[in-house]
Structure 1
């Protein structure tokens, strides 16, 4: 598995607000009937800043707890979002995402580079967002593969405080030899998200595994606070 995890359970929108700074916490918690796979967790702590009205940059601390192991710091991620078309400017909003993962010394993990094409379209009261993902390991111990994946969200803009959504996540394998569907990581679930008074935002949901190699279930939780 790539350390930068092309299936981070967050859908990125091609929208940036200049000058907006935010701190956040992200949790992915796996649920499985197999004790050897149950209760794996990924914790991420972030600080992000809208540098301009087109560029957002963020730094993440990545922590993980694998089943039967201790909670450990994995490394640091630096991510950037660049807006290609401002919201509503074209028929389809678009942006680019670039992330660099640097593992903690001593883990013998490779660095990793992740690229995403961000696409978004509003239709009536719905907002549809797609992330097309490519991930490549770099440096020592790196595998030669380029891994493809995707993330999708269809959100109902009901109220600012509560927006129900359906999210899909998939890992398709090496682009040169895509895995058969039963060997792909595929998840789908219901998520609630919104912005609250006082600068808080949240996302909470449960994702169901759709293939034998995917976690049976996963709790997703994100909370942010605008500074």
Structure 2
């Protein structure tokens, strides 16, 4: 049976394993997204869910609002934080040697005056039927219960575009006090117009020397 142990505020250090962002935005898209992240390590099990709604501000920029829930010591879910995210596609797909985008994110804890701001560069490069996606991010945290600090994060996905619905990949994550790698799968089902449903599933093993440190992540995203 999974147990829960509090390990401090649920900020960047605890959940670096998350979605690897692609640098693409559909023209004037809208989207709904659900994410689940479950990390089991020597300190217990941390479970987090995100629900978001997004609306494109232009052909290249989308703004999303996230409500983040986490499980407490009583196995009850409650709102842990709110996030506002802005993504911009800088280049057209295939225009240069790689496709580029940027990410900005602001997070506020629900019950504490703790904040986090994040900015990152998103890239994707295709090699035949393979794609290499990278996210390089700087994170600044401050507030009443955490110390002010700047951290770096690196995420990478090497994906084989077998068929649109099933695309296997290897993912790599690195941040302060954490390095992880593992298999992942993603797929996309397209409908009329620009309606499409995306799914992702990954299992990341931590390489930090702990006896047990692995993370399961899932994503469902509907764009229209």
**TM-score, structure 1 normalization:** 0.85
Aligned-residue Cα RMSD (Å) equals 2.1
Deviation at 1:49, TM superposition (A): 2.1
TM alignment of 1:6-155, pairs within 5 A: 7-32=16-41, 34=42, 36-38=43-45, 40-66=46-72, 70-104=76-110, 107-155=111-159
Partner residue in 2 for 1:178: none
8 Å CA contact 1:3–1:109 kept in 2: the answer is: no
Deviation at 1:214, TM superposition (A): 9.0
Distance in 2, matches of 1:26 and 1:119, equals 22
TM alignment of 1:174-185, pairs within 5 A: 184-185=177-178
Distance in 2, matches of 1:214 and 1:110, equals 31
The range that moved more, 151-160 or 64-73, is: 64-73
Deviation at 1:210, TM superposition (A): 1.0
Distance in 2, matches of 1:115 and 1:215, equals 30
Deviation at 1:2, TM superposition (A): 6.3
Q: Which runs of 5+ in 2 are unaligned?
A: 1-7
C-alpha distance 92-215 of structure 1, shift in aligned 2 (>3 A): farther
C-alpha distance 118-197 of structure 1, shift in aligned 2 (>3 A): closer
Partner residue in 2 for 1:204: 201
- Total equivalences in the alignment: 211
SS of 2:44 mapped into structure 1: coil
C-alpha distance 221-214 of structure 1, shift in aligned 2 (>3 A): farther
C-alpha distance 119-101 of structure 1, shift in aligned 2 (>3 A): same
8 Å CA contact 2:198–2:220 kept in 1: the answer is: yes
**TM-score, structure 2 normalization:** 0.86
The range that moved more, 129-138 or 141-150, is: 141-150
Deviation at 1:24, TM superposition (A): 1.1
Distance in 2, matches of 1:95 and 1:132, equals 11
Q: Write 1 or 2 for the structure with the bigger share of strand.
A: 2
